[in-house]
């Protein structure tokens, strides 16, 4: 029987040190990209893929994240009285129904694999998605929805993959390709953060996964990998060795690494330019900046 993906894990326990001092009091995941928090983009993408249960793996200091998805009765009442129905609709779209969302604590920062393992009891014996809110993907069809379709075909573990320059591969998990079938790539291994010049391909894993319960079984072993942390890619690779296929998926869309300042700024510009209400003013400003820089040269 083919199983559907209805649960997703959102690992959001990181401290966001690259964005200090902002993240001293504001969780990185609710920093805004134009006018929506990063985590809202991830939630919207998951909903579009048919996800019904949302599991956040958090840490101390993330209460603002939980508050964001709660109802705001006083604010709703003020908007209703002011007749601001459009803003009210936007506000209500961020609410999460009771029982739809769960929050778990990762007590110690032991890696992405450990964060996923923390949600094992809520996942049970079902396939599940893992979504990293740092990775924002602009796509006509949301990336996770593309992957769910691929999972229905393969019923194996699937990782989102994109081509990266050789000198950047050491920052990613990289696929060791067995057969390249176009959008879907079968693998014979995954290498986490390979040494310079030792990457088996230029296909890097980014923050979208659809995984089977066998990956959780491998995470139960709590095997430390690169950096002394429990790596999710190691558990996926071990599940492949245990008889499960692992596929890379070349998604359609543009990925922005909002875990870095440069990527966050690039995404802000790109998403703002895609907005009818912002495009003209921002484009005029960017042209002024470019012309001024050229004149100064």
pLDDT digits (tens, 9 = 90+) for 6-31: 999 999 988 888 988 988 888 889 99
pLDDT tens digits for range 33-59? 998 999 999 999 999 999 999 999 988
Residues 164 and 287 in one domain: no
Tokens for 275?
């907005």
Within 10 angstroms of residue 192's Cβ, the number of other Cβ atoms is: 21
Look-up: residue for tokens 């591969």?
A: 169
In this model, does residue 237 exceed pLDDT 90? no
Residue 248 pairs with which residues in a beta bridge? 159, 185
Domain-embedded: residue 17: yes
Residues 207 and 283 in one domain: no
User: How many whole angstroms separate alpha carbon 130 and alpha carbon 7?
Assistant: 9
Domain-embedded: residue 1: no
The boundaries of the domain holding residue 44 are 7-259
Domain-embedded: residue 41: yes
Which residue, among 220, 156, 119, 186, has the nearest Cα to 3 in the 3D structure?
A: 156
C-alpha to C-alpha distances, 102 to 8, 22, 122, 283, nearest whole angstrom: 11, 26, 9, 41
Residues 202 and 273 in one domain: no
User: How many whole angstroms separate alpha carbon 288 and alpha carbon 270?
Assistant: 17
Domain containing 37 — which CATH number?
Answer: 3.90.550.10
User: How many whole angstroms separate alpha carbon 116 and alpha carbon 8?
Assistant: 10
Give how many domains the chain has, as a whole number.
2
Residues 24 and 161 in one domain: yes
Q: What average pLDDT does this structure show over 163-191?
A: 88
Res 198: pLDDT: 83
Residues 86 and 166 in one domain: yes
Helix (H) or strand (E) holding 133: none
Domain-embedded: residue 57: yes
Q: What percentage of the chain has pLDDT greater than the value 90?
A: 46
Residues 190 and 144 in one domain: yes
Residues 275 and 241 in one domain: no
Q: What average pLDDT does this structure show over 226-249?
A: 83
Residues 230 and 269 in one domain: no
Residues 168 and 229 in one domain: yes
In this model, does residue 214 exceed pLDDT 80? yes
In this model, does residue 271 exceed pLDDT 70? yes
User: How many whole angstroms separate alpha carbon 256 and alpha carbon 265?
Assistant: 9
Mean pLDDT of the chain: 88
Domain-embedded: residue 45: yes
Domain-embedded: residue 2: no
Residues 162 and 216 in one domain: yes
pLDDT tens digits for range 65-124? 888 887 788 888 888 888 888 888 888 878 777 778 899 988 887 889 999 999 999 998
Domain-embedded: residue 72: yes
Helix (H) or strand (E) holding 189: strand 184-192
Residues 297 and 223 in one domain: no
Residues 65 and 53 in one domain: yes
pLDDT tens digits for range 132-163? 999 999 999 999 999 999 998 888 899 999 99
């Amino acid at each position: 029987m083919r199983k559907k993906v209805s649960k997703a894990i959102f690992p959001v326990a990181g401290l966001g040190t690259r964005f200090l001092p902002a993240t001293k009091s504001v969780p990185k995941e609710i920093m805004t990209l134009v006018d929506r928090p990063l985590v809202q983009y991830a939630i919207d993408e998951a909903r579009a893929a048919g996800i019904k249960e949302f599991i956040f793996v958090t840490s101390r200091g993330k209460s603002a994240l939980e508050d964001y998805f709660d109802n705001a009765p006083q604010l709703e009442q003020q908007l209703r009285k002011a007749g601001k129905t459009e803003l009210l609709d936007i506000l209500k779209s961020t609410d999460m129904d009771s029982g739809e969302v769960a929050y778990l604590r990762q007590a110690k920062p032991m890696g992405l694999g450990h964060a996923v393992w923390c949600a094992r009891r809520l996942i049970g014996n079902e396939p599940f998605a893992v979504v990293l809110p740092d990775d924002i993907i602009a796509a006509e069809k949301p990336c996770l929805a593309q992957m769910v379709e691929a999972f229905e075909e393969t019923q194996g573990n699937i990782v989102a993959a994109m081509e990266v320059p050789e000198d950047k591969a050491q920052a990613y998990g990289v696929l060791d390709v067995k057969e390249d079938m176009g959008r879907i790539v079968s693998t014979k291994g995954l290498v986490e953060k390979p040494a310079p010049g030792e990457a088996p391909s230029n296909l890097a894993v980014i923050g979208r996964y659809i995984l089977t319960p066998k990956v959780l079984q491998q995470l139960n072993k709590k095997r430390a990998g690169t950096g002394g942390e429990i790596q999710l890619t190691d558990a996926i690779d071990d599940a492949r060795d245990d008889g499960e296929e692992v596929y890379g998926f070349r998604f359609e869309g543009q990925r922005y690494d909002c875990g870095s300042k440069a990527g966050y700024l690039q995404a802000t510009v790109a998403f703002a330019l895609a907005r009818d209400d912002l495009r003209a003013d921002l484009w005029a400003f960017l042209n002024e900046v470019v012309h001024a820089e050229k004149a100064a040269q």
